[in-house]
Amino acid sequence: MALTIEAHRNRRCIFEATVRNADDDVWVLGVGDYLRCKVGRPGATPVLDLSSLAASANGSTMSPTNPTTITLDKDDVVLLHAGTWTIEVSVFQAGSELQHAVSGMLVVLDTQTGSI
């Protein structure tokens, strides 16, 4: 199942993602396993690279559970220009071995100007 997420520049974005195995079962995290979320363009270094091990410098977080709750702080979302980005949520086993991933689109929309 692919992800499709919508975010607005200059606003915090909160969403949930579930990583499933080939049989469509929810991937069960073991001791030392962690999650990672990358946002970028194909073939390029990710603009955002988050881990469930620690918050980003701007305060974006991932819960250490599957499904995971991902909170992109507005200071990280503003790094993404309006348009469609590739997003990937991965499970890594202890020792940094990639086990499984789900990917999709993160659509970033510009926000209106002015006070709310």
Task: Kindly report the CATH number assigned to the domain that includes residue 67.
Answer: 2.60.40.10
Instruction: Show the domain range for 39.
Output: 3-109
Residue 116 lies in a domain: no
Q: How many domains does the chain have?
A: 1
Report yes or no on 41 lying in a domain.
yes
Contacts of 43 (CB under 8 A, 6+ apart): none
Residue 22 in any domain: the answer is yes
User: Which parts of 1-116 fold into alpha helices (H)?
Assistant: 74-77
Q: Is residue 115 part of a domain?
A: no
Write the pLDDT tens digit of every residue in 53-102.
999 999 999 999 999 999 999 999 999 999 999 999 999 887 777 888 88
Q: Is the pTM of this model over 0.95?
A: no
